[in-house]
């Protein structure tokens, strides 16, 4: 399980969550929580949108968790950043995401498989208003 918060506190670090998922120490829900609140980096194509590549078994878009990961993946390139939530909302249907494709633990996910599940989160507020 990944500790952290997706609320007003310190956000969950996406790259650590990706690594934990690969090691089967984090769930798909934890990955979704980290992805939607994180800034992600992508190669900027000539036209607006994302650079989609054919991977033989479907289309994918390379998504990096940091600028150093983007540099490892694409070298010197034009790039853009956005939130994971925005990327998911703009991604064409049927296109998978490969998180940190040139990193030590690339992770291919199908956005259709990630979905928010309703749940109850209980927080304790101190007398000073801190969570």
> Could you read off the pLDDT of 41-81 as tens digits, one per residue?
999 998 888 889 998 899 999 999 999 999 999 999 999 99
Coil, helix or strand at residue 83? strand
pLDDT tens for 71-113 read 999 999 999 999 999 999 888 888 999 999 999 889 998 887 7
Under 8 Å between Cβ of 15 and 69? yes
Coil, helix or strand at residue 81? strand
Pairing of strands 95-99, 39-43: unpaired
Count: domains in the chain: 1
Q: What is the pLDDT of residue 2?
A: 32
Inside any domain, residue 89: yes
Question: Residue 91 has which token pair?
Answer: 């991604």
The Cα 104–Cα 11 span in angstroms is: 22
Chain-centre distance for alpha carbon 21: 12
Q: Which residues span the domain enclosing 25? A: 14-110
Inside any domain, residue 3: no
pLDDT reading at 30 higher than 50: yes
Q: What is the pLDDT of residue 126?
A: 52
Inside any domain, residue 1: no
Q: What CATH number is given to the structural domain containing 87?
A: 3.40.1350
The Cα 42–Cα 51 span in angstroms is: 8
Inside any domain, residue 105: yes
Question: Residue 5 has which token pair?
Answer: 């918060």
């Amino acid at each position: 399980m990944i500790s952290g918060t997706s609320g007003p506190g310190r956000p969950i670090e996406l790259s650590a969550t990706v690594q934990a998922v690969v090691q089967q120490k984090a769930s798909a829900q934890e990955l979704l929580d980290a992805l939607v609140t994180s800034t992600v980096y992508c190669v900027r194509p000539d036209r607006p949108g994302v650079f989609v590549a054919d991977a033989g078994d479907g289309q994918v878009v390379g998504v990096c968790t940091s600028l150093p990961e983007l540099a490892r993946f694409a070298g010197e390139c034009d790039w853009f950043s956005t939130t994971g939530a925005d990327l998911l909302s703009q991604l064409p249907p049927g296109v998978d995401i490969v998180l940190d494709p040139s990193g030590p633990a690339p992770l291919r996910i199908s956005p259709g498989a990630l979905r928010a599940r309703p749940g109850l989160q209980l927080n304790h507020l101190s007398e000073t208003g801190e969570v």
